[in-house]
C-alpha cells in the first residue's frame, strides 16, 4: 500500500500540524457528546480535527471534523494559501484509472451471514431531534451494470435491523438513476458503503460531475496516483483497499424503510422524500479500524465537504465566462443557499449577467449578491454594508420562480421547487458618493499602537 489510508493521513497530519489536532482523552458518549464538543469549539472560533479515543459503547476511536477548516483542506490538497479552488480543479481534472489489487487492509476481517451485526458499529446520535443513531460519513459505491462506470455519493443512513439500513436518495441524482435502471430490469442494485477512507477520497465523493464520470478516478487525481481498490466479496464492487469499514449489500427498489428526521445542513431536522432500504450481506473492516464521522447539521464540516467542490466548479465557470468576476464566496451563514460574487464591472449589466449565470448553474442557490471588487465577499458585514448603501429594491432585484432547488430547504415545497433571488449591490453608473478612507501613514501609526498594546498585555 502507498499511504492511501485514513490512518496514514492522520499520522502524517498530526506530526506536521499538532496544533490543529484536538484529542479528547476523557470518556464521551455516542449520544450527542461528540457533536456538543464540535459546537462548543465552533462557538469559540475553533475547528480542529477531533479524535476521541475513549468512547463509551465503542471498541474503536472516533474521528470527526476532518473538513471543518478550509486551511486543513488546503493542506490535504497541497494547495498554497488562497489557492484551494484552483488546486482542487487542477488535480480533479487529472483523473486516473483505478489500480486493482487482490487484497489490502480492508480485507483484514470479512463478516458474512449470521456474523453481520450493524448494531455492533459505533453509531452516533448527533442531535436530540434525530430519530436515532446515524451513519453520516457513508459513501455509497454503485456501478453501471453495462459499462462498469462507478458513482460515489453520500447518503445518511439509520440502522433499521442488524442487517439493514434506512437511507434516502432524496436528491434523485446518479444513484437514483442507477436504482431506476435496476428496477426497470427487475433486479436489486448492488452497492457498497465506504465508512472511513483517505480524506481526498471523501472529498472526491462530493464532486459534482456528469453521469458516467467515475469519482474514484477523480480521487486518483486528488491523490496524485491511481486509487488502489479491491473487489467486494459478493458483487465485486471496487472499493478503496485501505478503507476502514465497508458494508456490502443491495438496495431493493420496491422496499421502503423509515428514515428521518435528522439534523441537516439547513440547521433544521428533516425527513426525506424517498425512504430506501439497504440490505447488508457483508461487513469488511481493517484491523484496528477507526470510525469516521461527518458532523451533521449546519456544521462547518458538513457545509465545507459539500461546498468546496461546488465552489471550485462555480468559480471556474464564472471566471471563464465572465471576465469581470473577481471573487466568489459561499458564506457559512447561508448554508448552501447563498453566494456572494465580487465584480469589477467594465460595462453596465455585467454583474447581473453573472448573477443569472450562477443561479442557472447551481440548483442549490436561492440568493446571490453581487458587489464591487473592493468589497470583501468573505465577510458578511461588508456584503451587508454594500446592500445597505448601494442597493435599491425597485431596480436592483431580480426574482425567478418555479425552479428546482433542494428538497432539504424547509421553505421549499416537498420536491424542492423554489424561487431564486439576484441582488445587484454594485454601485452602478451614476453612483455619487465617496468612500471614506484613512491615509496609509495614519494606518501605519494605528497598527504600531495596537501592536504595542497587544505586546504589553502578553508581557
Q: What is the pLDDT of residues 111-140, one digit of tens each?
A: 998 999 998 999 998 888 888 888 999 999
| CA dihedral of residues 400, 402, 406, 411 (deg, nearest 10) | 90
CB 156 within 8 A of CB 164: no
Q: What is the pLDDT of residues 341-367, one digit of tens each?
A: 999 988 889 999 999 999 988 888 999
Of residues 310, 334, 438, 428, the one with CA closest to residue 384: 334
Per-residue confidence band for 396, with pLDDT thresholds at 50, 70 and 90: very high
CB 193 within 8 A of CB 250: no
User: Span 301-424: which CATH code?
Assistant: 3.40.1670.10
The pLDDT, as a whole number, for residue 347 is 87
DSSP string, 38-82: HHHHHHTT---EEEES-BTT-SS-EEE-TTS-HHHHHHHHTPPTT
> Positive or negative, the Cα torsion across 244, 248, 253, 256?
negative
The pLDDT, as a whole number, for residue 454 is 63
Residue 5 has pLDDT above 60, yes or no: yes
- In the chain, ranges of CATH 3.40.1670.10 domains: 301-424
Residue 459 has pLDDT above 60, yes or no: no
Q: What is the pLDDT of residues 226-236, one digit of tens each?
A: 999 999 999 99
Q: What is the pLDDT of residues 35-49, one digit of tens each?
A: 999 989 999 999 999
Per-residue confidence band for 456, with pLDDT thresholds at 50, 70 and 90: low
Over range 170-179, report the average pLDDT. 81
Q: How many CB atoms lie within 10 A of CB 132?
A: 13
Q: What is the pLDDT of residues 28-83, one digit of tens each?
A: 999 989 999 998 999 999 999 999 999 998 889 999 999 999 999 999 999 998 89
Residue 185 has pLDDT above 80, yes or no: yes
CB 168 within 8 A of CB 260: yes
The pLDDT, as a whole number, for residue 265 is 67
Model pTM score: 0.87
- In the chain, ranges of CATH 2.30.110.10 domains: 6-300
CB 5 within 8 A of CB 105: yes
Over range 422-428, report the average pLDDT. 94
The pLDDT, as a whole number, for residue 457 is 59
Backbone phi and psi for residue 66, each to the nearest 5 degrees, phi listed first: -55, -40
User: Span 6-300: which CATH code?
Assistant: 2.30.110.10
The pLDDT, as a whole number, for residue 1 is 46
C-alpha cell at 157: 443512513
Q: Round the average pLDDT of the chain to a whole number and report it.
A: 90
Half-sphere exposure for 36 (CA within 13 Å, toward CB): 9
Residue 453 has pLDDT above 80, yes or no: no
Amino acid at each position: 500500500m502507498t499511504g492511501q489510508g485514513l490512518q496514514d493521513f492522520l499520522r502524517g497530519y498530526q506530526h506536521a500540524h499538532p496544533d490543529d489536532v484536538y484529542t479528547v482523552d476523557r470518556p464521551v458518549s455516542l449520544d450527542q457528546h461528540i457533536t456538543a464538543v464540535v459546537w462548543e469549539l465552533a462557538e469559540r472560533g475553533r475547528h480542529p480535527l477531533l479524535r476521541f479515543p475513549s468512547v463509551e459503547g465503542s471498541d474503536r476511536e472516533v474521528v470527526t471534523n476532518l473538513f471543518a477548516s478550509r486551511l486543513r483542506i488546503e493542506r490535504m490538497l497541497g494547495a498554497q494559501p488562497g489557492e484551494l479552488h484552483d488546486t482542487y480543479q487542477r488535480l480533479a481534472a487529472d483523473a486516473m484509472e483505478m489500480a486493482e489489487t487482490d487484497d489490502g487492509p480492508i480485507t483484514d476481517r470479512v463478516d458474512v451471514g449470521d456474523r453481520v451485526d450493524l448494531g455492533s458499529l459505533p453509531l452516533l446520535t448527533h442531535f436530540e431531534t434525530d430519530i436515532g443513531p446515524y451513519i453520516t460519513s457513508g459513501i455509497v459505491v454503485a456501478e453501471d451494470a453495462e459499462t462498469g462506470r462507478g458513482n460515489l455519493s453520500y447518503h445518511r443512513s439509520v440502522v433499521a435491523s442488524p442487517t439493514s439500513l434506512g437511507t434516502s436518495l432524496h436528491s434523485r441524482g446518479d444513484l437514483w438513476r442507477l436504482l431506476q435502471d435496476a428496477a426497470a430490469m427487475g433486479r436489486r442494485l448492488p452497492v457498497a458503503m465506504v465508512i472511513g477512507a483517505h480524506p481526498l477520497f471523501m472529498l472526491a465523493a462530493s464532486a459534482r460531475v456528469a453521469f458516467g464520470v467515475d469519482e474514484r478516478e477523480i480521487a486518483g487525481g486528488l491523490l496524485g496516483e491511481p486509487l488502489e481498490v479491491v473487489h467486494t466479496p459478493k458483487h465485486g464492487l471496487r472499493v478503496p483497499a485501505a478503507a476502514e469499514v465497508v458494508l456490502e449489500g443491495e438496495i431493493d427498489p420496491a422496499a421502503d424503510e423509515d428514515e428521518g428526521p435528522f439534523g441537516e445542513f439547513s440547521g433544521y431536522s428533516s425527513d426525506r422524500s424517498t425512504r430506501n432500504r439497504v440490505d447488508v450481506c457483508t461487513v469488511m473492516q481493517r484491523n484496528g479500524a477507526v470510525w469516521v464521522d461527518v458532523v451533521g447539521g449546519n456544521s462547518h464540516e458538513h457545509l465545507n465537504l459539500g461546498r468546496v467542490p461546488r465552489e471550485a466548479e462555480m468559480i471556474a465557470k464564472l471566471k471563464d465566462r465572465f471576465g469581470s468576476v473577481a471573487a466568489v464566496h459561499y458564506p457559512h451563514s447561508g448554508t448552501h443557499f447563498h453566494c456572494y460574487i465580487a465584480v469589477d464591472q467594465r460595462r453596465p449589466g455585467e454583474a447581473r449577467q453573472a448573477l443569472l449565470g450562477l443561479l442557472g448553474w447551481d440548483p442549490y442557490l436561492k440568493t446571490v449578491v453581487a458587489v464591487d471588487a473592493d468589497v470583501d465577499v468573505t465577510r458578511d458585514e461588508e456584503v451587508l454594508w454594500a446592500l445597505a448603501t448601494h442597493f435599491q429594491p425597485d431596480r436592483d432585484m431580480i426574482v425567478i420562480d418555479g425552479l428546482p432547488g433542494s428538497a432539504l430547504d424547509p421553505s421549499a415545497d416537498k420536491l424542492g421547487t423554489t424561487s431564486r433571488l439576484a441582488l445587484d449591490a454594485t454601485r452602478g453608473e451614476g453612483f455619487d458618493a465617496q468612500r471614506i478612507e484613512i491615509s496609509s501613514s495614519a494606518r501605519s501609526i494605528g497598527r504600531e499602537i495596537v501592536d504595542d498594546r497587544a505586546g504589553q498585555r502578553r508581557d
